[in-house]
Structure 1
Amino acid sequence: MSSIKEKLQRKLDLLDGGRNLVQLIDGFIDEYPDPYLLAKQHAADILLKRIGKAVDPRYVWWHQFTTASSSPRSFTGWQHSGPPQKSVPFTELVAQRFDLPFQDATDELNVYGGFYKEGAQAHYFDETNEIPMLPSDVQKDFWALDFAEIYRAKVTRFWAERDVAFRVLAKINLLGECAKAVLARRITEAEAAALRGIVVPELEARELPSLTQLQANHSTVSLTTYAYELGHVEYACFFTFGSSGGRVTLYRPWAKEAIQGFDSELAMAAWLRQQLRDQQTMAEFLAAALVDPGEQPEVSNVRAVLQGIANSRSDQAALALLHFRRVSISDDFFVHIARRARNDMERSAAALLNNAGLRKAMLSGYLSAFLNVFAGFTPLGWPMSLALLGAALGRLGLGVDAAVHATSEEARKSALRQAMLDCLFAALNLTEIGFQSTFASLAYEAPFHETRASLARWQVAREPDPILAGRETNQLIEGELATDGRLRGVRVDEKGDCWIEMNGLTYRVRYSHELSTWLIVPLDNPFALGPLFPVRVNDGGDWHLLVPPEREAPPAVIGMISETSQFWDEYTATHVIQSQKFSAQARARQKKLLETQSIPILGINELPAEDEHGIYCVRFGNTFEYTYREADGQYANELIKYYTDEASSVNDILRQGIHKYTDSVDYINNLATTLERLPKNNEVNLYRGGHGGRGTSGEHFRSGRLNVGDILVNTDLTSWTENPFMVRHFAASRHLDANGWTSVFDDTSVVFELPAHRYNSGIPISAFSLYWDEAETLFLPGHYFKIDKLSHVHGERYRFIQVTLSQVVRPVARPVYDLRTGAPFDRAAFVERVKSPDLANRFFPDQ
């Protein structure tokens, strides 16, 4: 077997165990009791209950005023002007509650306060920017839930279910850092062997421990182990492992170079003494040693201890101070740190007041102390339990402000996962394999439909070529063909990419550890989201495509293939948590695109300027920039946010010629300009659903009026989603029956798909949207798409026409059809609707 195939076989073997550990990491992160996310979820639930829409709570503020005037147009019956007396983001209000005077005077609550889409900088607070909720109703919702008790119960449940997982992850972190330290020659091979021994006795350097081995507890009597507690709270900042020969290994889980070996304790003390004289290093130690950075007496105490070590008269004096602060660990090291992490989290949870305590605090005037504990969620949102897993803020590249605000929730989860995977990658010795795809294979988070699939009843496809059309490669693939093991029948190229030949065509494949089989995948991205195309090789070496078992099909559509889809079986079902997770990942991906742009950042307490229409922006001389980043890391663009608000009805102008405001043309021009300045991206599949009731019908495809090869053009601001769970909300009508609201597909239901890399004008806007869960990408009017494939897709609860598109340049001398309606495109009618030849010419230049 060639060296490339040997490496690939070893990679697959390691990933068999590694993927199980990745699932452990993902489960730990998903269940981690983050109080800010819990408060945000409660805020979102209240918004959905009260207004019937999934509005992002980060765009909702509670404003409190000293005056009010009646208004027949507003939901509450009152309106306000001028700066509010008090403003609180809705998520934080879930924990803080309304001020004491309003607890009994609920009628005044509706008069002197309200919920709005704009912050305190707005000039007016009325029907134009209100969220239609009565504060008195929201107050009832607050008292109906006991946030502190819910959070404490979540912490208790987390440790009951994830205590073993915490210890496993702590062991992975130590193994990974140990491997890195050996490569960097910060410790000897003997020290590395001793450290591996406290994880799993006699574990070899290249040996992969099983999950069962990692879950077991082991004594650390072979090494003298100490924890160094620098503050009043029992919380260790770092640890040491001493051997009988006198050498000492320093372990700082939170540091970039977590493990460092020394000839003696004195040598370690000298190193620490020198390191702590550097201001940045001092700050890193201080951050790692504090349970609550907001508790000033503790901050002062820890700083004094660290400063004392740095300013010691001699190395011996520094060592004496360290001896005074060390605590011996006689039991299993990982049991010890898990117990300390649990105590830390429970102590933080105890700082939250339950409803009874909150009422008492309000009556006693002690509420301000409670709010200081909760403000920013700093002591709760990133406790030492994560630092002990190698996920300290500094190591993740996150500032404290970024880490504790909701706007960075996806970023910090992603960074936490990346840090843990980095250590797992090193612990598995996958660096030696060297393929670029190796880390991607480990980090890959298998989509919902892949983890839930069962191939037991799948059958060999009778005609695979139409199903796989466009997925083959015309390139000649060089590489030796494997003849045994799970690589049998697979050709491996020099980069480690895998290929098979089936029916005379060559396809790229990847191995799914979740399904224990090979999958045909896109040529340019083996991890792209999409339907599963599993294949298997028979005894004769021939590959066959597997498809789901045939179902009773609805009436066939003439001239169109009819197919079932395991992909849409899953994504047309209701899976709220999975959909939210998908949308959160999409928003995180879209925010990363913005990080590469030169976007203005507001300073702390700095308010945006306004243009002549009162739209928030950043002013540069006589020019305006509508995209900016607030001090807390939140991205803002008022033009885009207004577009996503259903009340704006911006597309009514482009579709029907309805102009609610006299400045609508100016608004669309400004919106188009600001969108064109944002990054475009085509790395993911996009979907768009429609049905007759929404003005987007599939009947012209079903009837054969539009066919493969025809060209469509979008004439409005066309919204697509990268979350396939969202499609059914747009491709089906909603009906209320005995079981509640259900999605009903009919002959007009249609789903458009834009495969990754087959479009180039999509602009992701999730970071600015009121409805972030839609994972939206927007196309300005005037883009052309060719119909590549038409299929009639059906399942037990759905049926629709799927239209696969690719973006093309404007065709010359051939008809084009409106993507939304299927009607022939009429430029003159478009000009009439928008009432501006210049605006029409912007999107459809006159030829």
Structure 2
Amino acid sequence: MSTIKERVERSLDALDTGRPLAALVDEIVRQYPDPFILANREAARLLLKHTGKVMDPRFVWWHQFESGSSSPLTFNGWKHSGAPVKSMGLAELVVERFDVQFQDAPDQLDQIGGFYRQGARVAQFDERNEVHLLGREILDDLWALDFAEVYRAAIERFWSDYGRHFRVIAKINLLGQAAKALGRGLISQLDCQRLRAVAANGLTTGVLPTLALLEQDATHPPLTVSRYVFGETDRGSLYRLTAADGRVVLYMPWSHEAVRGFDSELTMARWLRQHLQSTQAQQAFVEGAHVNPRDDSGRRLIKVHLQGIADSRSDEMAVVALSLFKREPGKALFEVLVDQVLIEMRQTAEVIQSNAALRKAMWQGYLSAFLKVFGGFAPLGWPMSLTLLGAGVGKVGLDVDAAVHAVDEQVRQSALRDAMLDSLFTALNMVDIGFTTSFGSLAYEAPPHEIRASLGQWQRVRSATLPVEGQEANALVAGEVVQSGRLRGVRLGNDGSCWITLNGLNYRVRYSHELSVWLIVPQDNPFAFTALHPVRLSDQDEWELLEPPRLLGGAPAVAAELPSLRSEFWDTYCRTELWESAKLSTKAIVRQKNVLVGAGVVELAPGQVYDLDARGLPCVLRAGRPVYSYRRGRQFSNALIEDYTHEASKVNDVFRYGTYAHPDMDDYIGRLADTLEALPANNAVTLYRGGHATRGTGGEGYRSGRLQVGDMLVNTDLSSFTENPYKACEFASTGSGEEEDGEIRGFDDSSVIFELPAQRYQGGRPISPFSIYPMEAETLFLPGRYFRIESLQQIYGEGYRFVRVQLATVPEPGTAIVHDLRTGQPFNRDIYRARFRNQAVADRFIPAAGGGQR
């Protein structure tokens, strides 16, 4: 048996165990009662209620001024100028509420304040940057909401519904920490065995920690628990686990070396005494023990107690000093940890401003002092609950301030997930397997169309042209073909990659643990978001590609000679699935942010504020020139793109109809194009664009046969594509918006979806991190990009049909007739140029040499 085969089999076995646990991590991350995320969601609901739009609350500010001027042009009748006396984001307002003096005088809110899309540094606050919200209505909504009670209820619901799962992930973290400590020589093999026995019965050396094992608590744990409490505010920085033979394991959840073994209590005290003599080590202990950065007295007390241990005259005296802080909870380790976490969460809830506290402040005539709580997973610092799950502040890849005060839901949850999965990866001993794709296999979140697929009725593809054509390997794949087991018929590469031979060609495959089947995947990205291409071995040991069966009633009629195809992929995404759509968009946002960070988008230093250009727009000045794209950590800003996404139809009205909402639109378009061209172009993922006759973008020309494979298209406006197929279906449907969650959307003969396969296009700029509507997962193409129609098909399923137009970008159209991507009509450059007041704008995007039909 080859070493490669052994390692691949070990990897598959570990993933059989690990994938259900990874799904549990996803559930915990999604359901964790994070006060920021809860506030952000409530803020988004307020925006949807009052504006009808799914906006990102981080783009909406409440500004409060000394006075205001009446204005017939603004939504609330008032405009303001100069610096606000108070500013906060909408989600922050949900937590902190309006000042107490406005609770009895709500009409004053609209006179001295308003909601705006720009921060406090801009000069003017009026109809150009207002958000259509009224302060008095939001005040009523906040009273009705009572966010403090929402948060308290979320905490109790989390522990009621997911407390058992929390313990499982906490056990995984301890097992991962133990495996790391064993590898570093910090604990003995016996210590590791005992820690595994603390987690669950039957978890002996070599046994994988399955979900079923970890859901059961150890009945006779070999280690008893003591806790050291260095002050009333100590949230659980140091636990001592003692065996009957006197051997001790220290557990410090906050530390990057969380477990450490000792022969006895005396040797443990010696290490602590010496370790705490380091100022840096002592400070780390204080940070681990003390949660509230505003409680200086509590912090000082803990530091004094730790210093007393460090100053002990001998190791024996250190034992005595430690005994003063030792507590015997009389419970198993994970009961103690859960108790401490629940106390911390409830303390967090107590400092959030509630209706009851606000009523008391109103009755007393002043606003009682209370802790500013907004901006983190807990108002008082990084929560121990996340640390116990393997997501300590140092491990999530953010510095302390960014981790506690970050306002980026997607990045926060992604970082948490990766940190927790790292512990799982280690607990499963997958580090030793050594394949670069091993962590990716564990971290991979199967998309909805893979999770829900039912392959029982799928049949062998009989078409002469296979749907996977073009994905075959160009080079010869060396390696052994396995003859038995799950890997039978699979050729193994030296890097652990898996390959099959289908019709004489080599294809890369990935094992789907959700479907228990091999799938053909892109050779350079086995985890790419793509349609399913399952394969099986025939009775003759030949690989066969499978496809879904046709509907009993056959395919819908089509005028042109278009092939009609069933698609499990589109069976999923033609439904209204709000939660699953949000998950896909979130992944796209995280991916786009990674692209932008990698491209070097300007980052503001801690404490640095943005500059203002000559028009008062936020930017960063470089050699006196404004750079509009910048970021603070993983939060991106670009005022020009924000304006475009807020009023996209007004910008594109110039390109489509020559309609100008503002006299300076040509100038704005030029500056917007400049800032977009400065962003990185990226073609790593497949993009989609939905069209329908009601939006002026229907597919009648493709269905009728007027537009055919090989024809050329040009986009004549700012053209949006999405990474999220749910969104494409939304724009390709009849758009009633009344479908229940889970229902098929409405489609008709004008429904069309354009598809740009990964690596087959150029010029797309990822803009979702800058967008007021980030969940559209948007990539934007400037006008003047040429597309060739690569294939045309009717895609159909139960209750839906549309024409799929697969495109690829080309540099120039040559002598071919060019059609408008949006309308499908022949493109006439003279008519196009005449729409612009400054025809140089049109020439910039589609110069004369680019032709089109004159």
TM-score of the pair, normalised by structure 1: 0.94
More deviation in 214-223 or 13-22?
214-223
Aligned to 1:33: 33
Secondary structure of 1:587's aligned partner: helix
Distance 1:225 1:75, change over 3 A: same
Letter in 2 for 1:730: F
Larger mean Cα displacement after TM superposition, 368-377 or 491-500: 368-377
> 2: distance between equivalents of 1:598 and 1:472?
34
Query: Structure 1 residues 311 and 762 mapped into 2: Cα distance closer, same or farther (>3 Å)?
Result: farther
| Greater alpha carbon shift after TM alignment, 539-548 vs 428-437 | 539-548
Query: Does the 8 A contact of 1:255 with 1:390 survive in 2?
Result: no
Tell whether 2:677 aligns with 1:676.
yes
CA contact (8 A) 2:65 2:113 kept: yes
The CA deviation string for residues 485-504 of structure 1, in whole angstroms up to 9 with x for no partner, is: 22222222222222223333
Q: Which moved more, 1:746-755 or 1:400-409?
A: 400-409
Asked if structure 2 preserves the Cα contact closer than 8 Å seen for 1:721 and 1:774, the reply is: yes
How far residue 25 of structure 1 moved from its aligned partner, in angstroms, is 0.8
CA shift for structure 1 position 738: 9.9
Is 1:164 matched up with 2:160?
no
Percent of residue pairs identical: 50
1:456 aligned partner = 456
Note the alpha carbon deviations across 1:594-623, whole angstroms, 9 max, x for none.
333444444666543222233221223421
- Compared CA separation, residues 465 and 363, structure 1 to 2 (3 A): farther
Which residue number in structure 2 is paired with residue 718 of structure 1?
A: 719
Tell me the residue number matched to 1:364. 364
Residues 762-809 of structure 1, C-alpha deviations (whole Å, 9 max, x = no match): 211111111011111112223222222211112233221111122332
Q: What's 1:608 paired with?
A: 610
Superposed CA deviations along residues 267-313 of structure 1, whole A, max 9, x for unmatched, are 33333334334444333322211232333322222222233334444
Query: Given residue 492 of structure 1, which amino acid in structure 2 is its aligned partner?
Result: L
Answer yes or no: is 1:78 the counterpart of 2:81. no
Q: What RMSD in Å do the two structures reach over aligned CA positions?
A: 2.6
Alpha carbons of 1:297 and 1:790: their partners in 2 closer, same or farther (altered >3 Å)?
same
Given residue 189 of structure 1, which amino acid in structure 2 is its aligned partner?
Q
Output one character per residue of 1:564-616: Cα deviation in whole Å (capped at 9) or x when no partner. 22222222212222222222222222222233344444466654322223322
Contact 1:349–1:380 under 8 Å retained in 2: no
Residue 806 of structure 1: aligned partner: 808
Matched residue, 1:175? 175
Aligned residue identity for 2:658: G
Three-state SS of the structure 2 residue aligned to 1:347 is helix
Instruction: Render the CA deviation track for 1:74-97: whole Å, top value 9, x for unaligned.
Output: 111222222223222111111222
- 1:490 counterpart letter in structure 2: V
Q: Which residue matches 1:131?
A: 131
1:374 CA drift (Å): 4.9
* SS of residue paired to 2:250: strand
Q: Give the aligned residue type for 1:569.
A: D
Inter-CA distance 110–242: structure 2 relative to 1 (3 Å threshold) = same
Q: Which amino acid aligns with 1:774?
A: E
- The residue type paired with residue 27 of structure 2 is G
- Cα distance in 2 for residues equivalent to 1:739 and 1:187: 55
**1:333 matches 2:318:** no
Superposed counterparts of 1:828-839, under 5 Å: 828-836=830-838, 838-839=840-841
Q: Which amino acid aligns with 1:299?
A: R
Rounded to whole Å, the distance in 2 between the matches of 1:14 and 1:738 is 41
Shift of 1:750: 1.1
Residue number among 553, 560, 563 corresponding to 2:562 in the alignment: 560
Query: Is contact 1:736–1:742 with CA below 8 Å preserved after alignment?
Result: no
Determine the C-alpha separation between the residues in 1 that align with 2:65 and 2:96. Answer: 17
**In structure 1, distance between residues paired with 2:649 and 2:616:** 16
Cross-structure match for 2:436: 436
Paired position in structure 2 for 1:626:
628
Q: Which amino acid aligns with 1:461?
A: V
In structure 1, give the amino acid aligned to 2:151.
Y
1:586 and 2:576 aligned: no
More off after superposition, 419-428 vs 501-510: 501-510
Measure, in 1, the Cα distance between the counterparts of 2:706 and 2:155.
59
Distance 1:409 1:366 in 2: 34
Partner of 1:767: 769
- What amino acid maps onto 1:104 in structure 2? D
Structure 2: gaps of 5 or more residues: 850-854
Note the alpha carbon deviations across 1:424-455, whole angstroms, 9 max, x for none.
11111112222221111111011122222222
1:49 is paired with a residue of what secondary structure? helix
In the alignment, is residue 655 of structure 1 matched against residue 649 of structure 2?
no
> Distance between the aligned counterparts of 1:257 and 1:234, measured in 2?
19
Secondary structure of the equivalent of 1:635? strand
Map 1:413-432 → 2, pairs under 5 A: 413-432=413-432
CA distance in 1: counterparts of 2:373 and 2:615, whole angstroms = 41
Question: Is residue 215 of structure 1 aligned with residue 215 of structure 2?
Answer: yes
Q: C-alpha separation between the residues in 2 aligned to 1:467 and 1:449?
A: 17
How far apart are the structure 1 equivalents of 2:377 and 2:25?
23
**d(CA) in 1 for partners of 2:478 and 2:174?**
40
Report the 3-state secondary structure (helix = DSSP H, G, I; strand = E; otherwise coil) of the residue aligned with 1:165: helix
Q: Distance in 2 between matches of 1:591 and 1:540?
A: 48
Asked if the contact 1:253/1:389 (under 8 Å) is kept, the reply is: no
SS of equivalent to 2:835: helix
Correspondence for 2:472: 472
Which digits, 9 at most, give the CA deviation of each residue in 1:339-392, with x for residues without a partner? 221222123223334423332234335644335345766436742111122211
Deviation at 1:702, TM superposition (A): 1.4
- Residue 758 of structure 1: how far off its partner (Å): 2.0
AA partner of residue 222 (structure 1): P
Taking the aligned partners of 1:603 and 1:496, their CA distance within structure 2 comes to 42
**Compared with structure 1, are the counterparts of its residues 832 and 205 closer, same or farther at alpha carbon in structure 2 (3 Å cutoff)?**
farther
Distance 2:781 2:736 in 1: 30
Equivalent in the alignment of 1:573: 575
Q: Distance in 2 between matches of 1:79 and 1:528?
A: 49
Q: Deviation at 1:165?
A: 1.2
TM-score by length of 2: 0.93
More displaced stretch, 429-438 vs 510-519: 429-438
Aligned length: 846
Please, which moves more after superposition, 768-777 or 3-12?
A: 3-12
Conserved in 2, the CA contact under 8 Å of 1:35 and 1:381? no
User: CA distance change for structure 1 residues 81 and 810 in 2, over 3 Å: closer, same or farther?
Assistant: same
Change over 3 Å in CA distance of 1:481–1:600 after alignment to 2: closer
What is the CA deviation profile of residues 136-159 of structure 1, one whole-angstrom value per residue up to 9, with x for unaligned ones? 222222222222222211111111
1:502 and 1:542 in contact (8 A); partners too:
yes
1:13 CA displacement: 1.5
Contact 2:711–2:816, Cα closer than 8 Å, also in 1: no
Q: CA contact under 8 A between 1:793 and 1:801: conserved in structure 2? A: yes
Q: Aligned runs of 1:16-415 on 2, under 5 Å? A: 16-201=16-201, 203-219=203-219, 221-233=221-233, 235-364=235-364, 367-374=367-374, 378-379=378-379, 382-405=382-405, 407-415=407-415
- Measure how far apart 1:730 and its partner are: 1.5
Contact 1:100 1:363 in 2 (8 A): no
Between 1:486-495 and 1:471-480, the stretch displaced more is 471-480
Deviation at 1:224, TM superposition (A): 4.1
With 347-356 and 284-293 compared, the bigger mean Cα shift is at 347-356
* CA spacing shift, 1:405–1:725, aligned 2, 3 Å: farther
Higher deviation after alignment, 772-781 or 811-820: 811-820
The superposition leaves residues 6-42 of structure 1 with CA deviations (integer Å, 9 ceiling, x where unpaired) of 2212211121111011011111111101111111111
What amino acid does structure 2 have at the position aligned with 1:109? L
Letter in 1 for 2:152: R
Q: Which amino acid aligns with 1:359?
A: R
Report the Cα offset of residue 166 of structure 1.
1.5
Q: Which residue of 2 aligns with 1:731?
A: 732
The one-letter code sitting in structure 2 at the alignment partner of 1:253 is P
Q: More displaced, 248-257 or 426-435?
A: 248-257
CA contact (8 A) 2:435 2:495 kept: yes
The answer (yes or no) to whether the contact 1:403–1:409 under 8 Å persists in 2 is no
Query: 1:68 Cα deviation (Å)?
Result: 2.4
Letter paired with 1:718: S
Deviates more, 1:497-506 or 1:690-699: 497-506
1:151 aligned counterpart, secondary structure: helix
Q: Where do 5+ consecutive residues of structure 1 fail to align?
A: none
